[in-house]
Amino acid sequence: MLKKFSIQHIKFANLKNFCIFFVSMICILILAIFIKIIIHQHFFSESQSEENLIQVQTIRVKEASMPELIETVGQLTAKEELKLKAGTSGRIQYLLVESGSWVKKGTLLANIIAAPEVYAPFDGYLTDWQVKPGEYVTTGTELIELVNTDFLSITYRVPECYAVRLQIGQPVQIFVKAFHNKIFQGFVNFVSPVVDTKAHTILVRATIKNTNRNLLPGMLAHIRHFLEVHSKALIIPELCLVFGIDGYDVFVIVDSKIQKRAIRIGEKQDGRVHVTSGLNLGEPVVLVHKSLIQEGKKVSCTDWAEDW
């Protein structure tokens, strides 16, 4: 009887151990499956997050020289010109210099019988003779015009809002169609002390150095009047600007997220903009805007490597 009880007790113990082992294995299997699911979801979520990142091209705010200027147009005139006239009546004996010639001051230009000879009063170009040899002229008859083109004048008008910033001596650059890529330099030599009450503009005149006498009086010129040059201006490409209700905004990247920021700007020149407030040197600014760009979204950035 005792032997039979011992055998049954052993069988029961073995069954109990087997059940414990089986349940343990089931628990381990469930735990493994659960861990696998968690790991899979984690990596899948990260993968989806990476795939959903917005790809953007950025530039870094940099320092550069940026001029503040006024752009307008004007017409060139000779700084020094004179119509030579007959001092007394008489007959033209000789015309000693051909039309269009460059003459030096004191050059004898014409002889008039019974009248003083005609000399060039300054260096310059002769225009076209208005008389012929043998022709009788009276006092005051126009003979020819002498024009000095070493320096030319250009007169133009600027809005009255610039009144307090206009100064004698400010630099000027001009461009003409005949010499598209050539810059001619000059300086302001006159600023009107009054404002035109009809147009609300101020008359300005500048002297232009006519190197090699390329410029001709009467030419229409594009003018750049420099008010100030900011040597360390913060600049970004004009493409970065977003026009807002109260001015201009840009998209910047902060902690890998898009942030919209209001800025103030100064001059625009050659596709670049002077930022006067709202950005710091070196900040990444989104270069190209797309409709999917939204504030707060995560992005993957690539800095523009080329110069701009």
pLDDT at residue 302 in the model: 85
pLDDT average, residue stretch 41-64? 70
The CATH number of residue 60's host domain is 2.40.420.20
Residues 175, 125 share a domain: no
Residue 175 belongs to what domain range?
150-230
pLDDT digits (tens, 9 = 90+) for 265-296: 998 888 999 999 999 999 999 986 655 677 78
The CATH number of residue 127's host domain is 2.40.50.100
Residues 292, 262 share a domain: yes
Which uninterrupted H or E stretch holds 123? none
Residues 155, 226 share a domain: yes
Residues 158, 224 share a domain: yes
pLDDT digits (tens, 9 = 90+) for 160-218: 999 999 999 999 999 999 998 899 999 999 999 999 999 999 999 999 999 888 999 99
CA dihedral of 157, 160, 165, 168, whole degrees rounded to 10: 40
pLDDT digits (tens, 9 = 90+) for 235-260: 999 999 998 788 899 999 999 899 99
Using only C-alpha atoms, what is the Rg of the chain? 43
Please tell me the distance from the alpha carbon of residue 56 to that of residue 292, in angstroms, as a whole number: 11
pTM over 0.85, yes/no: no
pLDDT average, residue stretch 108-130? 93
Please tell me the distance from the alpha carbon of residue 124 to that of residue 147, in angstroms, as a whole number: 5
Residues 225, 155 share a domain: yes
Domain count for the chain, please give it: 3
Please tell me the distance from the alpha carbon of residue 259 to that of residue 278, in angstroms, as a whole number: 12
Task: Identify whether 134 is part of a domain.
Answer: yes
Closest to 146 measured CA to CA, from 217, 79, 216, 82? 82
Task: Identify whether 107 is part of a domain.
Answer: yes
The CATH number of residue 160's host domain is 2.40.30.170
Which of the listed residues 193, 215, 230 is the one where a domain comes to its end? 230
Place of tokens 């006498």: 213
pLDDT digits (tens, 9 = 90+) for 72-106: 999 999 989 999 999 999 999 999 999 999 999 99
pLDDT digits (tens, 9 = 90+) for 13-49: 565 665 666 667 777 777 777 676 666 665 544 444 4
pLDDT at residue 289 in the model: 61
Please tell me the distance from the alpha carbon of residue 270 to that of residue 236, in angstroms, as a whole number: 11
Which of the listed residues 211, 230, 249 is the one where a domain comes to its end? 230
Question: Three-class SS of residue 308?
Answer: coil
Closest to 84 measured CA to CA, from 133, 43, 137? 137
Tell me the Ramachandran region of residue 109: left when phi exceeds 0, alpha when psi lies from -120 to 50, beta otherwise: alpha
pLDDT at residue 15 in the model: 58
